[in-house]
Amino acid sequence: MEISVRKAEKRDVTAILAIVNYEILNSTLLYDYEERTFQQQLTWFEQKEREKMPVIVAELETQVIGFGTYGIFRPWDAYQFSVEHSIYVTKEFRGKGVGKRLLTQLIELAKTNGYHTMIAGVDGSNKKSFEFHKNFGFEEIGTFKEIGFKFNKWLDLRFLQLFLKEN
């Protein structure tokens, strides 16, 4: 199984949208309720391009099987060196190293672009994602209790942090 990771292009927006909408409808990876439209996802992609924030895809042959991105953690000036990342892998390719390839690339991009720290927001019930991040050296910073509500239940949100440079 030869998986490649590359910079996303506009032609990938449809595949990214399918991954996003699956997670919206079937998981607590995203705290949205409503599926996104193609136009919403395209606008998101174009904004990432304008802000010079990476969007990368994992591909098996010509099929997009996952994607990753990051953006500034919060919209105030003092956060300019802190990014929060997102990684999504299609259900059938989880546990096969796709997420690892994506996160490795995002960390390298963030280091190259001069960021100081990377944040991961992980749903409190997602033990696999929590352990995945711990294996990369992320440290748990804290948990917001019952901060979200989806599928008729309260959701906790755990934050993890990775310093990108030696102090």
Residue ranges of the chain with per-residue pLDDT less than 70: 166-167
* pLDDT in the model for residue 165: 84
Domain ranges in the chain?
A: 3-163
E strand segments, the chain: 3-7, 55-60, 63-72, 82-89, 117-123, 139-150, 153-163
Distance of CA 26 to the CA centre of its chain: 17
What fold is seen in the domain 3-163?
Answer: Aminopeptidase (3.40.630)
* pLDDT in the model for residue 167: 47
pTM exceeding the 0.85 threshold for the entire prediction: yes
Largest distance between two CA atoms of the chain: 43
